[in-house]
Amino acid sequence: MSLKGKVAIVTGGARGIGSGIVRSLSKLGAKVAFNYVSPSSREAADALIDSLRQDNGEAIAVQADITDPDAPKIIIQAALEAFQTDEIHILVNNAGAGDNRPLEEVTLDSYTRLMDTNVRAVVFMTQAVLPVIARGGRIINLSSISARAGYSTQSVYAASKAAVEGLTRVWATELGHKYGVTVNAVNPGPVDTEMYRAAGEVHLARMAEENKKVPAGQRCGTIEDIGDIVSFLAEERARWVTGDVICANGGILYT
């Protein structure tokens, strides 16, 4: 299938799962705009764009903190201008933050950071794109296995991702007829990213044992695994799927 002629926005697309989504959408022909937050991510963003261009892909990177109230408009306007269009066909709300701590150690600052990034930014990024979303468009939200698994020390993170799944179902109903879009979510399990590998030897050793139990294959997920699932939801052949949460975790957790 092809996404040729489609314009996509991926929040948090410079690294990790986001970069896998950007690559997969671009591979299918979509023009992709993605944001990154800090100057330290500029090198990764530029390298990703260069890599896509080698395969004749079109992409732009926009420095914008998704929790900044002005960020959605900045990202959307940059995409419209760069690709000389007045429509966005695909929005992927991927940007997110994580934090593990016992309930006794949750602070107002840690709570606010996660909720601002994982929930508030998703709400207002989606709201901002509605005036320019194309009929037949796609809104795809990134949740997490943590929304349902009940992992210890993830009170706030799990709540934030459960909120994303709730928003997905509401928007599928609320926005479907009015804007002609589908709205779905993808909830990855563990994925091999820089953040995953930086968690330390103890974590990696524990996950190596857990990965042996994964039904779909005795391994951790990859950014390509997630990118391909997101791209499928963006395609025309996924037109009859909306309000769903796709378990993208190799069978660690079933719907």
Is 19 one of the catalytic residues? Answer: no
Catalytic residue among 144, 146, 160, 231: 144
d(CA 141, CA 160): 12
Q: Could you tell me the CATH superfamily of domain 7-245?
A: NAD(P)-binding Rossmann-like Domain (3.40.50.720)
Q: How far apart are CA 105 and CA 127, in angstroms?
A: 33
Give the pLDDT confidence score for residue 220 in this predicted structure: 86
Confidence of residue 51 (pLDDT cuts 50, 70, 90): very high
- Residue found under tokens 């709570």: 111
Catalytic residue among 6, 19, 161, 179: 161
Length of the chain, please? 255
> Of the listed 19, 26, 41, 143, which one is catalytic?
143
143 belongs to the catalytic site: yes
Give CA separation, 73 vs 3, 64, 148, in Å.
Answer: 24, 10, 32
pLDDT above 80 (res 89): yes
Cβ 78 vs Cβ 62: under 8 Å: yes
Tell me, yes or no, if 161 is annotated catalytic.
yes
pLDDT digits (tens, 9 = 90+) for 150-193: 888 899 999 999 999 999 999 999 999 999 999 999 999 888 88
Give domain limits for the chain: 7-245
Question: Is 144 one of the catalytic residues?
Answer: yes
Helix axes 121-129, 155-179, angle to 10 degrees: 10
Among residues 86, 8, 75, the alpha carbon closest in space to that of 35 is found at: 75
Given the residues 157, 160, 179, 231, select the one marked as catalytic. Answer: 157
CA angle 12, 78, 167 (to 5 degrees): 45
User: 98 with 83: CB under 8 angstroms?
Assistant: no
